[in-house]
A and B are shown apart, each in its own frame.
Chain A
Amino acid sequence: MEFFERFAIPHPSPLIYASMVAIGLTLIAIVIGITYFNKWGYLWREWLTTVDHKRIGIMYMISALLMLFRGGADAVMMRLQTAVPDNAFLDAQHYNEVFTTHGVVMIFFMAMAFVIGLMNFVVPLQIGARDVAFPRLNAISFWLYFAGAMLFNISFVIGGSPDAGWTNYFPLAGTDFSESVGVNYYMWSLQISGIGTLMTGINFIVTILKMRAPGMKLMKMPMFTWSALITNVIIVFAFPVLTIALLMGTFDRQFGTHFFASTNGGMDMLWANLFWVWGHPEVYILILPAFGIYSEIIATFSQRNLYGYKSMVGSMVIISFLSFLVWVHHFFTMGHGALVNGIFSITTMAIAVPTGIKIFNWLLTMWKGKIRFTVPMLYSLGFIPLFTIGGVTGVMLAIASADYQYHNTMFLVAHFHNVIIPGVVFAMLAGLTYWWPKMFGFMLNERIGKWGFWFLSIGFVFAFFPMYITGLDGQARRMYTYSEATGFGPLNMLSFFGAGLMAIAFALIVYNVYYSFRHSPRNVGMDPWNARSLEWATQNPVPEYNFAVTPVVNSSEAFWDSKKNGHQLFKDKITKIHMPNNSGMPIILAGFFFIFGFSFVFSIWIGVIVSALGILGTMAYRSFENDHGRYISEEEIKETEKEYGGAK
Chain B
Amino acid sequence: MKIDHSQPLEYGTHQNQMNILGFWIFLGAEIMLFGTLFASYFTLENGVGNGPSGAEIFEITPVLMETIILLTSSFTIGLATHAMRINNKKATLAFLAITLVLGLSFLSVEVYEFIHYYHVGATLQTSGFTAILLTTLGTHGAHVTFGLFWGFFILLQIKKRGFTPETTNKSFIFSLYWHFLDVVWIFIFSFIYLKGMM
Contact = CB atoms under 8 A, between A and B. Distances in A.
Interface of A: 133-134, 198, 201-203, 205-206, 209-211, 236-241, 243-245, 247-248, 251, 255-259, 261, 263-267, 270, 274, 277, 578, 616, 620, 623-624, 626, 628
B121 interface: no
A441 to B, nearest CB: 31
Interface in B11-44: 14, 17-19, 21-22, 25-26, 28-30, 32-33, 35-37, 40, 43-44
A258 B131 contact: yes
B50 interface: yes
Nearest to A261: B128
Contact of A237 (B1, B29, B132, B156): B29
B153 A624 contact: yes
B127 A210 contact: no
Top 5 A-B pairs, shortest CB-CB distance? A265-B47, A265-B128, A264-B49, A265-B49, A240-B33
B162 interface: no
B14 A210 contact: yes
B8 interface: no
Contacts of B37: 244
A251 B18 contact: no
B51 A264 contact: yes
Given A240-B29, A257-B125, A624-B153, A248 B135 contact: yes
A281 to B, nearest CB: 11
Contacts of A255: 124-125
A266 B153 contact: no
A274 B18 contact: no
Given A133-B22, A265-B47, 4 more contacts: A198-B29, A251-B131, A258-B128, A620-B149
B157 interface: yes
B151 to A, nearest CB: 11
A42 to B, nearest CB: 30
A134 B18 contact: yes
A266 B128 contact: yes
Contacts of B35: 240
Contact of A258 (B28, B40, B125): B125
A131 to B, nearest CB: 11
A648 B52 CA distance: 75
Contacts of A626: 166
B16 to A, nearest CB: 11
Contacts, number: 124
Contact of B40 (A244, A261, A623): A244
Interface residues of B, number: 43
B35 to A, nearest CB: 8
Contacts of B32: 236-238, 240-241
A198 B27 CA distance: 12
B105 interface: no
Contact of B22 (A206, A265, A624): A206
A99 B32 CA distance: 30
B131 A259 contact: yes
Contacts of B48: 265
B67 interface: no
A263 B26 contact: no
B23 to A, nearest CB: 8
B82 to A, nearest CB: 23
B124 A251 contact: yes
A263 B131 CA distance: 13
A251 B51 contact: no
Interface string B138-163: 00000000000110011011000000
Given A133-B22, A134-B18, A245 B43 contact: no
Nearest to A241: B36
B174 to A, nearest CB: 11
A353 B125 CA distance: 47
A83 B124 CA distance: 47
B36 A210 contact: no
Nearest to A238: B32
A203 B33 CA distance: 18
Contacts of A134: 18-19, 22
A57 B135 CA distance: 36
B153 A623 contact: yes
Given A244-B33, A265-B49, A265-B129, A203 B22 contact: yes
B34 to A, nearest CB: 8
Contacts of A236: 25, 28-29, 32
B135 A251 contact: yes
Nearest to A232: B25
Contacts of A266: 44, 47, 49, 127-128, 131
B25 A620 contact: no
A263 B25 contact: no
B72 interface: no
A270 B154 CA distance: 40
Contact of A267 (B19, B30, B43, B166): B43
Given A210-B18, A264-B51, A239 B29 contact: yes
A15 B47 CA distance: 45
A591 to B, nearest CB: 21
A134 B169 CA distance: 15
Given A133-B18, A210-B18, A266-B47, A240 B129 contact: no
A210 B51 contact: no
Contact of A259 (B1, B132, B166): B132
A88 B127 CA distance: 43
B44 A270 contact: yes
A239 B126 CA distance: 28
Nearest to A132: B18
Nearest to B131: A257
A80 B112 CA distance: 59
Nearest to A616: B149
Nearest to B23: A202
B36 A263 contact: no
24 contacts: A198-B29, A201-B25, A202-B22, A202-B25, A202-B29, A206-B21, A210-B17, A210-B18, A237-B32, A240-B35, A241-B36, A244-B37, A255-B125, A258-B127, A258-B131, A259-B128, A261-B128, A264-B51, A266-B49, A267-B43, A267-B47, A274-B36, A274-B40, A578-B1
